[in-house]
Homo-oligomer: A and B are copies of this chain.
Amino acid sequence: MRIAQVSPLWESVPPQLYGGTERIVSYLTEELVRLGCDVTLFASGDSMTSARLEPICDRALRLNRGIFNRDAPLTMLMERALGQSGEFDIIHSHLDFMGFPLSRRNPTPTVATCHGRLDLPELQPVFREYVEMPIVSISDAQRKPVSWANWQATVYHGLPEGLYGFQPNPGKYLAFLGRIAPEKRPDHAIEIAKRVGIPLRIAAKVDPMDREYFYSEIEPLLSHPLVEYLGEITDAEKNEFLGQAMALICPYDWPEPFGLVLIEALACGTPVLAYRRGSIPEIIEDNVTGFVCEGIDSMATAVRRVSELDRRRCRQSFEQRFTVGRMARDYLRVYQQLLVNTREMDSRINGYSSWPSLTASA
């Protein structure tokens, strides 16, 4: 099967630092190649892949100060990857709705994974306009605002099995990992640690737009003796940081479409405590791989019960539900179903004698 994977150009594939979408594109691409598919990856030229790389710009856009107009390489990406027919059996776009205008006009079956949040009001008219476009959700919860769209499947993200090692013995601290941002409620994480008297280690980056929040709301809380702030950590450091934690705590107060960090913790055998928002109850098996909490009080209570959870069950849950092998098989099923549907559509259409002239004038 000739498959095109179309990555955003914001980060390289895989990303040098942060970049959830590009990491998933990389894992999926490498696994599809391993399974024998003929894969072409459209991405920035500094990407590394065992697929055929179609480089659109020399370097990923986020760290490339030489690019002033970022719409230019994005336009090239869409024309080359989504605008051509005949080269691929399936085109898989990771550009959210951005690729819809060209995909709609391309006879090659195209599916888009929605990586972002869908609860913004301005997205409603776009998904209504392109209601026929085949799309994939990364959690069932993500679909809710546009439940009526042409959903093909929910495909949870997956990680390479060996990326994180299982740590059988729980450590003595709580971990908070990700971004310092108001909706991530790092203040709740700190408050919970203080209430239960357990050390909290925070590994998180601060984006430019969140700097004011960090300095005014969070930095004053970091001087507490139970709290240690590590700044941004590398992928290599994550294994130790997550594996040696007693639990990962995620007091996120927004409908996160999928929490990649949650399955990273599970891969290490580390249970996860998170608020009941968005995709959380789909990822955590409550009372088995963690606790789904209703708020700050409930999470503080739950932390005291972490020792009741079996770290082997966390790792098992990861191996059964969140590996790249499972993700790639799910996507292959989506591709195959789409090919079948397209062929059925074609043969039905060919029953109408008027169709050739219709397509000629379309």
Known contacts A101-B78, A101-B79: A126-B72 contact under CB 8 Å? yes
User: In this complex, what residue of B is CB-closest to A362?
Assistant: B85
Contacts of A105 in B (CB 8 A): 105
Q: With an 8 A cutoff between CB atoms, is A123 at the interface?
A: yes
Within 8 A of B (CB), among A237-279: none
Within 8 A of B (CB), among A316-362: 356-357, 359-360
> Which B residues lie within 8 Å of A66 (CB)?
121
Across the interface, A102 reaches (CB within 8 A) one of B101, B120, B126, namely B101
Q: Counting CB contacts under 8 A, is A45 at the interface?
A: no
Q: Contact check: which of B57, B72, B120, B123 meets A97 at CB < 8 Å?
A: B72
Q: Does residue A308 face the partner (Cβ distance < 8 Å to B)? A: no
User: Are the C-beta atoms of B79 and A129 separated by less than 8 Å?
Assistant: yes
Q: Is the CB of A122 within 8 A of B357?
A: no
Tally of contact residues, A, Cβ under 8 A: 32
With both chains docked as a complex, state the minimum distance between the C-beta of A59 and any C-beta of chain B, in angstroms: 11
Cβ of A78: which chain B residues have Cβ within 8 Å of it?
101
Copies of this chain present in the complex amount to: 2
Chain B hits for A122, CB < 8 A = 57, 67-69, 72-73
Is A100 part of the contact surface with B, judged by Cβ < 8 Å? Answer: yes
* Residue of B97, B102, B120, B356 touching A68 (CB-CB under 8 A): B120
Chain A residues numbered 281-326 whose CB sits less than 8 Å from any CB in chain B: none
Contacts of A169 in B (CB 8 A): none
By a CB distance below 8 angstroms, the chain B residues around A83 are 101
Partner of A129, one of B57, B67, B76, B356: B76
Q: Bound complex: CA of A83 vs CA of B130, how far in Å? A: 12
Assess whether B359 is in contact with A76, with CB atoms less than 8 Å apart: no
Contacting B at CB under 8 A, from A85-111, are 97-98, 100-102, 105
CA distance A240 to B98 in the complex (A): 46
Q: Which of A49-92 contact B (CB under 8 A)?
A: 57, 66-69, 71-73, 75-76, 78-79, 83
A–B complex contacts, Cβ < 8 Å, 14 sampled? A57-B122, A67-B122, A68-B120, A69-B116, A69-B120, A71-B98, A72-B122, A72-B123, A73-B122, A75-B100, A76-B126, A76-B129, A79-B129, A356-B356
